[in-house]
Structure 1
Amino acid sequence: MSLFRVCSWWSAQCPDTLQSYHAQNITVCRFGLQENEKDYIVVTSTLGYLSIFYPAKSTTGGRTSSDLVLELKLSSPILGVAAGNFGSLTKGNANQSQLAVLHPLGLSIYSLLHTNGMSEHGSQSVLQLTAKNVLPKWSFSICTGHFGGVKEKEFICVTHLDGSLTFFEQDGIHYNCILSGETSMPLPVIYDSSSDAFLRVNSYWELESFKYQDVSESEPSSAVNPSWTLCIGELPIQIQTVRVNR
């Protein structure tokens, strides 16, 4: 007996039939292109496919042809995708959200442009590349947030396979950071806005927290120490932060 009931409201088939997907390959966002805008669903794959869906209510209960806004294949594998207000990192509109697409050795930021046509099928959407950065080493995951408590701007943090971090902040400023302790497992680093800190898991299966202030003020050759450590005793598949009302 199950305590939950699952209803299938909408579904879509992505172009990558080999199922080259993981948790970092999907995000839900609003681009701010129109009033009363609803959520877009962005799905990417490690084969380089990128699809943007805009689900709408259908009389048949399934997907319609207009739900697919854009679908393309990039030249490099996509390891992760995130959406946010990255206007300070690019020349894009500061009032609209952009897409940050992570490749093995690069980070690209795109803006979604939409042109209305005379009919529903006449509308066109394209992705415009607004910034492209070459990474110094192989990447693994991406996280974004209002680092340092900045409300109107979002910054980007890229995690590399060796556990080091690369930050991309306003006006194109970027810097690298080395975290101390044991070598991290190949797991994403996430940002917790309530404590303004980054969380990761090391090879001892310990959850570590690093303050953004300590990370941003660190020297390139020195390692940053965690503010606290918690032994969780097992390898997590995914880490997320949630707000709980007490």
Structure 2
Amino acid sequence: MSLFKIRQFWSTTSEDDEYFDHNSLLVAKINSDFDYVVTGSQSGVLRIFCPNCEVSENGTYAGFNPNDVIVEKILDHPILQVGSGRLVSGNSATQLAVLHPKELLVFSLILKPGKTQHGNQSYLQLVYEHKLRKSSANFVIGPFGESQNRDFVCVQSLDGILSFFEQESQISYVALPDFLLPGPLCYVIKTDSFVTVSSSWEIVSYRYKTLAEVAEESGDPIHLKQKISTEWAYNFGESVIDLQVISDVINKEAWIVVLGEKNLLCLSENGRLKCMKKLDYSPICMETYVIDTNLFTLVTAETNMLLVYENTMLKWSAHLDFLPTAIHRAFLKGIRGTLVLLSDEGRLECCYLGTEPSFFVAPPVSVPEIDFEKAEHELLALETVISKSNNN
């Protein structure tokens, strides 16, 4: 139990019939100098927020304002994941990718400054869409093949098919070997490789070049399982909750952070163990970032606790008001390093680590006064009973 408590300065709640998971939250700079907060519910509602960080006259933050909702769009299908990247050919702007069970949509955020007191006008414009042959699970966005100034999309299906989309066109399919259930998928820019989890609880890495060559040789993988050689594999030995890749700019290397049910570990880009921390609680989600050359990891626990690790050392812990299913670090307009939390029922909060202790004061216990004369009579009576029983 921590003495400290997370302090929230902005919060909002979605409708009662909306549900979210760890892929439903996105924090990204969409053609701006600050981060937007994007949520996509399993009911098909897509929202983009620009949290208000203005300070009121009494020195506190103003909190949520209806104008903080930049866009709210109701789509026809459940939203499985949201992402962002440079996904339109010949355009260096950042677009928004939305994954449905059977299609992938790419939107452009259009912002028009208002000329009256009614404010700015914002809306999402559909750029293109891809129909998916298999039911999707998640996706990852990155400059596959060391491409410059453009990003591609890799969609993982429920049965282990990776579908690669080169912006407006689809280029290949690849079936993952040793596949049982879809797991976390991430892309390492430095090595141009994909990292995921196999059915034998191994962290495995596949080079994009290898996947592309296998796709060209075997053709359609829907009915044919190809044999793909891994770049490296690490035997983790437990199920993986989340995988994240973080870049160390100073040392020019990439770190792969793995959150398991019982352990938190960090691997190098070549699959070598850098550090490992055994957890004595049940983790829910995590967020990673690097300051100088130190790796910081934020982990939320099932006991409504947020724990901050520097490498493997616990630096801070704070109590949460609710149990989040996703956590991100945001650089909002006016505030840097904000924590964005999202619950599975749609509670969205922007918080910071409070340093003011939240003490719990136990209520005073009412103790009745002792009547010594009455207690002495009771003691004599008990001694008489004991002596009689001993004589008998």
- When normalised by structure 1's length, the TM-score is 0.89
1:204 corresponding residue in structure 2: 200
1:51 corresponding residue in structure 2: 47
User: How much does 1:9 deviate?
Assistant: 3.0
Unmatched runs of 5 consecutive residues or more in structure 1? none
2:158 corresponding residue in structure 1: 161
User: How much does 1:5 deviate?
Assistant: 5.5
User: How much does 1:243 deviate?
Assistant: 2.8
1:200-244, CA deviations, whole angstroms, 9 ceiling, x for partnerless residues?
A: 111111111101110112133533221111111111111111234
User: How much does 1:7 deviate?
Assistant: 2.6
Question: SS where residue 242 of structure 1 aligns?
Answer: strand
User: How much does 1:188 deviate?
Assistant: 2.8
User: How much does 1:121 deviate?
Assistant: 2.7
- Tell me the matched-pair count: 237
Q: Does 1:231 align with 2:235?
A: yes
What one-letter code is carried by the residue in structure 1 that aligns with 2:237?
Answer: G
CA, structure 1 residues 237+115, in 2 after alignment: closer, same or farther (shift >3 Å)?
same
Instruction: Note if contact 1:41-1:54 (Cα within 8 Å) is conserved in structure 2.
Output: yes
Question: SS where residue 72 of structure 1 aligns?
Answer: strand
Q: Distance in 1 between the 2:70 and 2:106 partners?
A: 18
Instruction: Note if contact 1:53-1:70 (Cα within 8 Å) is conserved in structure 2.
Output: yes
Question: SS where residue 114 of structure 2 aligns?
Answer: coil
Instruction: Note if contact 2:186-2:243 (Cα within 8 Å) is conserved in structure 1.
Output: yes
- When normalised by structure 2's length, the TM-score is 0.57
Question: SS where residue 47 of structure 2 aligns?
Answer: strand
Which structure has the bigger radius of gyration?
2
Moved over 4 A (4+): none
1:10-89 matches, within 5 Å, as 10-15=10-15, 17-32=16-31, 37-58=33-54, 59=56, 60-61=60-61, 62-88=63-89
User: Of 166, 180, 187, which residue of structure 1 is paired with 2:183?
Assistant: 187
User: How much does 1:40 deviate?
Assistant: 0.6
User: How much does 1:4 deviate?
Assistant: 6.7
1:8 corresponding residue in structure 2: 8
Instruction: State the structure with bigger RCO (CA 8 A, min sep 6), 1 or 2.
Output: 2
User: How much does 1:137 deviate?
Assistant: 0.8
Q: Distance in 1 between the 2:51 and 2:116 partners?
A: 18
1:60-139 matches, within 5 Å, as 60-61=60-61, 62-88=63-89, 94-119=91-116, 121-139=118-136
CA, structure 1 residues 14+24, in 2 after alignment: closer, same or farther (shift >3 Å)?
same
User: How much does 1:10 deviate?
Assistant: 2.1
CA, structure 1 residues 211+131, in 2 after alignment: closer, same or farther (shift >3 Å)?
same
Question: SS where residue 216 of structure 1 aligns?
Answer: helix
User: How much does 1:120 deviate?
Assistant: 5.1
1:139-167, CA deviations, whole angstroms, 9 ceiling, x for partnerless residues?
A: 10011011122231110000001111000
Q: Distance in 2 between the 1:139 and 1:191 partners?
A: 18
When you count strand as a share of all residues, which structure comes out higher? 2
What one-letter code is carried by the residue in structure 2 that aligns with 1:6?
Answer: I
Question: SS where residue 244 of structure 2 aligns?
Answer: coil
CA, structure 1 residues 184+211, in 2 after alignment: closer, same or farther (shift >3 Å)?
farther
1:241 corresponding residue in structure 2: 245
What's the C-alpha RMSD, in Å, of the aligned pairs? 2.0
CA, structure 1 residues 184+114, in 2 after alignment: closer, same or farther (shift >3 Å)?
same
Question: SS where residue 136 of structure 1 aligns?
Answer: coil
Question: SS where residue 107 of structure 2 aligns?
Answer: strand
